[in-house]
A and B are shown apart, each in its own frame.
Chain A
Amino acid sequence: MDAGYDVKKSEVHGMAQRGGSVTSHVRFGEKVASPIIPEGEADILFCSEKLEVLRWLAYCNETTKLIINNIEIYPPLVNLGEMEYPKNIEKAINSKFKNNYFIEATKLAKEAGDARAANVVMLGVTSKFLPIDEEIWMRNILARLPKKIHELNKIAFKKGREVV
């Protein structure tokens, strides 16, 4: 909205805190109708965990940019040893999609000072592909964070921008 676009965001939340899978759709442009992205029409798929990319491919087409935090967080059935964490995700994704970015976001966030800033690293990456000024990104991210972690998140965001 700060960059002059209409915008809608939809999410199904409430389960995130309990380890459940959560999705958000963000759409912006001159005028946005549906808050949900039509299948096959996502420009960017942003995944904060590696195997989650597999769950949402129906929203992607060949040119969709897949931005993935290259971290594995085991779902319960994998922990219980009843299912295996899918192997070779990177290879499989690369064989079908052209614009894939497996980012060591958690590692980079740790370097910035806190693993919990991983999604800000990811936003730094994402910001490179969207027509919104870096200054607007930074201002809006910091407005949602307590002052004492501003510096850390600035570094995390920069690290994301530099990695692609």
Chain B
Amino acid sequence: MKKVLSGNEAIARGAWEAGVTYCAAYPGTPSSEILENAATYKEMETDWAPNEKVAVESALGACLTGARTMASMKHVGVNVAADPLMTASYTGVIGGFVLVTADDPQLHSSQNEQDNRNYAKFAKVPMLEPSDSQEAKDFVKLGFEISEKFDTPVMIRTVTRISHSKGPVELEERIKPPVELKLRKEPTKFVMLPSNARPRHLIVEERSKKLKEFAETLDINRMEINDTKVGIITSGISYQYAKEAFPEYSFLKLGMVWPMPEKLIGEFINKVDKVYVVEELDPFIEENVRLMGYKIDHGKDIIPICGELSPTIVKKAITGETDQKVVEPIIEDPIPPRPPNMCPGCPHRGVFTVLKKLKVFVNGDIGCYTLGALPPLESLDTTVCMGSSVSFSHGMSRALGDEGKGKFVSVIGDSTFLHSGVTPLMDMVYNKSYATVMILDNRITAMTGAQDHPGTGYTAKGEPTHAIDYAELSKALGVNEIYTINPYDIKETEEIIKKALNSDQVTVIIARGPCAMLKREMAGRTKKPLVIDSDLCTGCKQCISINCPAINWDTTMAGEYTTKDGKTKKRKGIARIVPDLCNGCGLCYQLCKFEAISEPEEGKLGFI
């Protein structure tokens, strides 16, 4: 039976068909749906791990019992998991272990566009790269076979256009994995003392040679010989773009991008007159083929190294022609961009409204609240990686000494805090910092589409579990000054932030308000939409300045108007609240100096 599946759905299905019993992941675009879908199969235990390192370690540990296991993450997540990965290559596996890396060329939703094919070479593990959903499923299953056959972790690399593209997939039955489930004591293989790790390194090098031989005859490395004037070496999504642009040319499609089949590549190069390497991001295939001593006519000299490719880009790069069919844009007015924005009723909006007012330096982190960097809130000054907001403030307090007091704060989400914020907070207390850390607790991993974590009280399968108490955790780390605030209450938020900034010790502020998109927490809590009285609105734009999608600027009401006390005044327009979008959080109500906005229901602010 065939079913249309996304690449991520196909990977989860592939794991299920391969007999996998345990999957672990930390959410991150474009990888998140892999574990979400895996969780729908009752035969697989599925964990949201607090971070990618824990996910890889748990999956690796699990595979030592003989179980087939999988860890999935976005490209930058592999950086976090690189520590166990590099040594997992030495220990090898018992049951098959597959690590899925979902790369994000074009940075659709990421802080960089690193090319994780480099990790396969670096860690000396095989990597398979599917080019559509069918291959995504097939390669996962093949990955488990290779993992067990060669005693190695296997990496599967997808990109956004594989993970989030859909295509038909032939469904098959689940198999029973071949390895017996039990604990095995094999210290020379699993205790990586130097004396054990040295011989394991020799085994890794031997394995690499065998894998290279294996790559020569592996059928997912295939030649498609057509017109031999031009031959294209490619893999993954780039294969589809090149095939679309040049169906008439010959292709060498590498399903396994590491290690590479040297003889097969030589054979292909000898068959064609001109050789092109078409690949997204780094010249990974190109450099390694050149190292083999083969001549390539064109690679990264014409194919862009930054951003995604497309059939159009590949065609243009190789032929130099632009498509004549495109009709030139016709509007001279600039087209207003439509960037993502915090949702109506988002608990972060109040925090950034206050931070902007206080003009402090804000070390930000990875999550929805990174959107606080965009206009008009523009109140976020750094964002690098998970947890960096906390360490940055610590570093700044150490560098600036007393000069920095009261001048900067860290802003970090609940999921990100548990991922990588706890250790730098520990560092702050231990090394006597004075910075303020704001934990924006919206009770979910929001940016990636609402995944649970150890602070939400639910598992990946939706079962109730323990929820971490951030105040108790901070206390245990040695933080003495801890505040919990309602981020919809501007006055309270401002007072507490000011108080914390004036402190001489580490302060933690927990801003608690559920993600406005989170049905579980918001059910029964949304309030009546607020209304702006067009007779009272002066068009001062105070409410507009918080960039709530539910508030529109209406210029049709511009001009003279009569105030309540009978005076005639002028205004440039008025603000209007879209009732379909407003959930009555009451943030704008607090900003209106002219009492033009109706009072929130029950007089309470937010949804606490």
Q: Residues of A with Cβ closer than 8 Å to B?
A: 1, 6-15, 17-21, 32-36, 38-41, 51-52, 54-55, 57-58, 60-62, 74-81, 83-87, 89, 92-93, 95-97, 115
The residues of A that contact B449 with a CB separation of less than 8 Å are 14, 17
Q: Is the Cβ of B368 less than 8 Å from the Cβ of A18?
A: yes
**Is the CB–CB distance between B376 and A80 below 8 Å?**
yes
Q: Which residues of A contact B311 (CB under 8 A)?
A: 34, 36, 38
- Whether B243 lies near A33 (C-beta < 8 A) is yes
Q: A38-B244, A40-B323 are in contact. Are A75 and B336 (CB under 8 A)?
A: yes
> Across the interface, do B109 and A14 meet the contact criterion of CB distance under 8 Å?
yes
> A15-B340, A18-B342 known; 19 other A-B pairs, CB under 8 Å?
A7-B166, A13-B164, A19-B341, A19-B343, A19-B549, A20-B341, A33-B247, A35-B132, A39-B325, A41-B325, A51-B335, A54-B335, A60-B327, A76-B341, A79-B547, A80-B375, A80-B545, A81-B553, A87-B333
The answer on a CB contact under 8 Å between A78 and B553 is: yes
**Complex Cα gap A52–B338 (Å):** 9
- A4 CB, min distance to chain B CBs, angstroms: 11
Contact indicator B323/A54 (Cβ below 8 Å): no
Distance of B318 from chain A, by nearest CB (Å) = 13
B residues within 8 Å of A by Cβ? 2, 4, 29, 108-109, 132, 160-161, 164-168, 237, 240-241, 243-245, 247, 310-312, 315, 323-327, 329-331, 333-343, 368, 371, 375-376, 447-449, 517, 541, 544-545, 547, 549, 551-553, 555, 572-573, 580
Q: Tell me the bound Cα distance from A39 to B447 in angstroms.
A: 30
* Minimal Cβ-Cβ distance residue in B for A20: B340
Pull 12 A–B residue pairs with CB atoms less than 8 Å apart, ordered by A: A11-B164, A12-B108, A14-B448, A15-B340, A35-B132, A39-B323, A58-B326, A76-B376, A78-B553, A79-B553, A80-B545, A86-B335
Question: Secondary structure at chain A's binding surface: helix, strand, loop or mixed?
Answer: loop
Could you tell me if B240 and A115 are in contact, using CB atoms closer than 8 angstroms?
no
Q: How many A-B residue pairs have CB under 8 A?
A: 172
Residues of A within 8 A of B572 (CB): 81
CB distance A79 to B573 under 8 Å?
Answer: no
Residues of A within 8 A of B331 (CB): 54, 86, 89, 92
- Asked whether A85 and B336 contact (CB < 8 A) given A36-B161, A57-B327, A80-B376, the answer is yes
Residues of A within 8 A of B109 (CB): 14-15
A39 neighbours in B (Cβ, 8 Å): 310, 312, 323, 325-326
User: Which residues does chain A contribute within 8 Å of B329, judged by CB atoms?
Assistant: 54, 57-58
A70 to B340, CA, bound (A): 22
A60 touches B340 (CB 8 A): no
Distance in angstroms from A81 CB to nearest chain B CB is 5
On chain A, the residues within 8 Å of B2 by CB distance are 1
Looking at the assembled complex, report how far the CB atom of B576 sits from the nearest CB atom of chain A, in whole angstroms.
Answer: 10
Taking the nearest CB of chain B, how far is it from the CB of A107, in angstroms?
A: 14
Given A76-B339, A85-B336: A34 touches B325 (CB 8 Å cut-off)? no
Which one of B161, B310, B331, B551 has the highest number of Cβ atoms from chain A below 10 Å of its Cβ? B331
Q: Is the CB of A75 within 8 A of B553?
A: no
Question: Among A7, A74, A84, A95, which residue has the most Cβ atoms of chain B within 10 A?
Answer: A74
Chain A residue nearest to B517 in the complex (CB): A17
- Chain A residue numbers with a CB within 8 Å of B310 are 34, 36, 38-39
Are A18 and B343 closer than 8 Å at their CB atoms? yes
Q: Are A12 and B244 in contact (CB under 8 A)?
A: no
A6 to B333, CA, bound (A): 40
Residues of B within 8 A of A55 (CB): 335
Inter-chain contact B327/A35, CB cutoff 8 Å:
no
Given the complex, which residues of B lie within 8 Å of A9, measured CB to CB? 4, 165-167
- Indicate the member of A60, A62, A86 with the most B CB atoms within 10 Å: A86
CA–CA, A10 and B555, complex, Å:
38
User: CB-CB < 8 A to B327: which residues of A?
Assistant: 40, 57, 60-62, 96-97
